[in-house]
Amino acid sequence: MADRGNRRIQVFDSEGNFLHMITLDVPFDENARPVIGNKPDLKTYQQVLTFVPGAPWTVCITPPPNEVLYTSDAYPGRVYKLTLDGKVLGVFGTSGKQLKQFGWIHQIACPSENEIYVAELLNWRVQKLILHPEQQNLSSRVADRAETLHNCRLVHCNKNRSDQVSGGLCQIGADLRQQIAWAIGLADIAVTTCRKRLCFHHPVRA
């Protein structure tokens, strides 16, 4: 639970029993400007905990298997990535109206570890943020090639053709095999040859 008024995240079990709390004590630039209004008086700003750096306005946990927690504050306007036990893994963002700047994030959604959506109160918008886009691009290329492989059609071989189908088998380059194996967490992929009067044909040749 994001408890911004008390500058903490409270953690409960499924029965509503309190387990522990998480606080964010990450250094910040004391010259940072808020998205609106005057800069907080750093001598007295802790009297209003809602706007203290690290006061969590949102909370979101990614689905398994890679569960991490995302939260955000209003000032200095950052997004935090944490483990479920509260260890800070990363911080990014600042207050503002430009892309990748934030104006009071009021809701956050995280369908995956590297994809989050933030809804901003002051900027009247939702930003979609892709973390590590180079990994996203590689995953897309692997998925496209894997789909091509999946589209190879299974056809019956006749008795006299079973020894002549080597040119008709779906050919998988070693580099593609390694990429697919990496993507699905396997050490290797075996290409099955024509057996039991069945063989694989490339869709272009079918």
- Taking alpha carbons only, the member of 139, 133, 200 closest to residue 169 is 200
- 153 burial via Cβ count (<10 Å: 0-12, 13-18, 19+): exposed
Are 6 and 49 in contact by the 8 Å Cβ rule? The answer is yes
Dump pLDDT digits (tens) for 7-43.
999 999 999 999 999 999 999 888 888 888 877 666 6
pLDDT mean over 141-166: 43
- CA triple 66-70-74, angle to 5 deg: 170
pLDDT digits (tens, 9 = 90+) for 92-118: 999 999 999 999 999 999 999 999 999
* Domains in the chain: ranges and CATH: 2-131 (2.120.10.30), 134-201 (no CATH)
Confidence of residue 185 (pLDDT cuts 50, 70, 90): very low
Q: What is the average pLDDT across 110-136?
A: 89
CA dist 194 and 169 (Å) reads: 8
The share of the chain scoring above pLDDT 70, in percent, equals 60
